[in-house]
Amino acid sequence: MKTVIDRFLNYVTYDTQSNPEGLTTPSTPSQLVFGDVLVEQLKEIGMTHIEKDEHGYIYATLESNVSHDVPVIAFISHLDTSPDFTAVHVKPQMIDYQGGDIVLNQEKNIILSPNDFDSLNRYVGQTLITTDGTTLLGADDKAGIAEIITAMDYLIKHPEIKHGCIKVAFTPDEEIGHGASKFKIEKFGADFAYTVDGGVIGELQYESFNAAEAKVIIHGKSVHPGSAKNKMINAGLIATEFMSHFPQLETPQATENYEGFYHLTSINGNCEEATLKIIVRDFDKEKFNQRKQFIQQLVEEFNTNYPTKPIELTLTDQYYNMHLQIEDKMYIVDLAKQALIESGVEPLIVPVRGGTDGSGLSFRGLPTPNLFTGGHNFHGKFEYIPVPSMEKAVDVIVKIAELGATFNYTR
């Protein structure tokens, strides 16, 4: 039987970065290639009703082995990795961690240090999987995929473990906010689901940001600098002035827990035109609306001060706090909490400080909290994941399936 580590080390070698500028679903063909690999593996372990649809979504079923009626539970992870950092030629490293610094890449002097990432201190004596310092690792969310498939394989090989019908799905383009958009919820047929897309061991999340993206296009006027007086409008300078009005302590690097933020994700341009992309995040709906109003008012102010009205704003809501759809169905969270405890994992109830398919799916009628994968430092070269955390994630998925056949629901 393949282990969760065997699967994960294979999966991360596939480059499946999504593309925020892509016009198709999936946004990159590499996700379809990886999807074909997963379809074959789902067939090999004995899953049924396996489908890879025209948009790259993968669905599969583990049939119930009990005769009584129980809810259909689903587990979901995403195929793509972040477009924010290279994922080409990922070379994972297995580290027997005994504390101190980890030299990821001696040639480039790239070091994973507990001085920078104190979470490492929790894993002394454990085996870690790291990057080689030149790419991200891809635990977000190939760890989730490996954990789900390994759990399904275990359940199939151990029919003495009683469970209801279990559904599995893998989605494209989660990292660019489209993972839930073309999900066939009614056909999928689950009563509720869990995304396996979280971080540190024990995480159980049922609150997420309200999220929006602001695209700010600044139109300038390029004139030869020698004769530019009273003629040139420098879009690049307007862009820097515009960003200087944002509160400095309301950025990702200055916030935590339930604090919201503005995050400049990209800036490019020149004198003639500049483009800013800013994501807006807050757990509280009223504060979320206030943040959007702040940007709108700032644009109006700049367009009033500049006679050419140089700024064009597109403000798009991306997803909302899934707690609004789960708060009256907390039995879903209770089931996962019990599974964590019975698997020897302390529940860590924290909000999702990032995107998750669970938000979109919950608002489309499939309530979907989020479970841990075990990973740390996603979307960059310092990403790592402890092997025991991945193994515990498999245990928790199996236990949820088992408890689901006997859990006392209020449906």
Q: Which residues are catalytic?
A: 80, 174
Q: Which of 92, 97, 157 is nearest to 130 (CA)?
A: 92
Q: Which residues are within 8 A (CB) of 200 and not within 5 positions of it... i.e. 6 or more apart?
A: 119, 348, 372, 374, 375, 376, 389
Residue 81: burial class (beta carbons within 10 Å; 0-12, 13-18, 19+):
buried
| Rounded (5°) CA angle 299-300-306 | 90
Do 387 and 318 touch, CB atoms closer than 8 A? Answer: no
For the chain, report the end-to-end CA distance as a whole number of angstroms.
36
In the sheet where 210-219 sits, what is the strand order? Answer: 261-269, 273-282, 210-219, 311-319
Strands (E), 177-221: 192-198, 203-205, 210-219
Number of other residues whose CB lies within 10 A of the CB of residue 107 = 9
3 state SS of 128: strand
CB burial of residue 216 (10 Å; 0-12, 13-18, 19+): buried
Provide the residue count of the chain: 411
Q: Cα–Cα distance between 396 and 402 in angstroms, integer?
A: 10
